[in-house]
Amino acid sequence: YMLKKERADFILRTLEGKFPNPPIPLSHKNTFQLLVAVLLSAQCTDQRVNKVTPGLFSKAKNSKEMTNLSTGEILNSIRSCGLAPKKSEAIKKLSQILVEEFDGAVPESFEHLERLPGVGHKTASVVMSQGFGHPAFPVDTHIHRLAQRWGLTKVGSTVQRTEKDLKSLFPKSKWNNLHLQIIFYGRSDCTAKGCDGTKCQICRTCYPNRKKPVK
């Protein structure tokens, strides 16, 4: 039986071996585009976001240009993303705030980011880690599910609790890569349907006696 810390160390070694330099899955050319792409990725796949953003960013590559588009024009570019009407309003509003309050730049702080329309703690964490290189541990639904499946947090815990538990288990210097490595591993090996907690290398090694699927 592996202790939680041993499981965490094994998971880190496995993921670093499999995904040594995980790429940022959302295509972008600047921090503003990353912010918009992350906002769009809520309830929408990264592949889908990467399909719609080139069209949107060809019309507006930064916040100043985005304020010149109407909400309807933004909506037309992102229509195939989930919650598109709400997201188009948020993109328009946050662009106006960036221009009025931050000279068009994306602010480099959790506090300012989380006050922007459509930007929650997870989105702010992604921008802080992938856009500015600050240590953060964004927890999306995949990471939340895998952390429970791998016994790194309690089953049924909140996203906030999972974030806290993961931050306490792994070194700060690893957080930014690790959040991406877990997402990639969840897509390739420990998928929602493909591995129920009994099939992939991490699940089998951490829980060799597990006979029943994890809920």
Cite the active site residues.
Answer: 122, 140
Strand, helix or coil for residue 11: helix
Rg (CA), the chain: 19
Q: How many helices (H) and strands (E) does the chain have?
A: 12, 0
DSSP per-residue letters across 153-191 = S-TT--HHHHHHHHHHHS-GGGHHHHHHHHHHHHHHTS-
Contact partners, residue 202, CB within 8 Å, separation at least 6: 10, 11, 14, 150, 185, 189, 190
Q: DSSP characters for 34-85?
A: HHHHHHHTTTS-HHHHHHHHHHHHHH-SSHHHHHTS-HHHHHHHHTTSTTHH
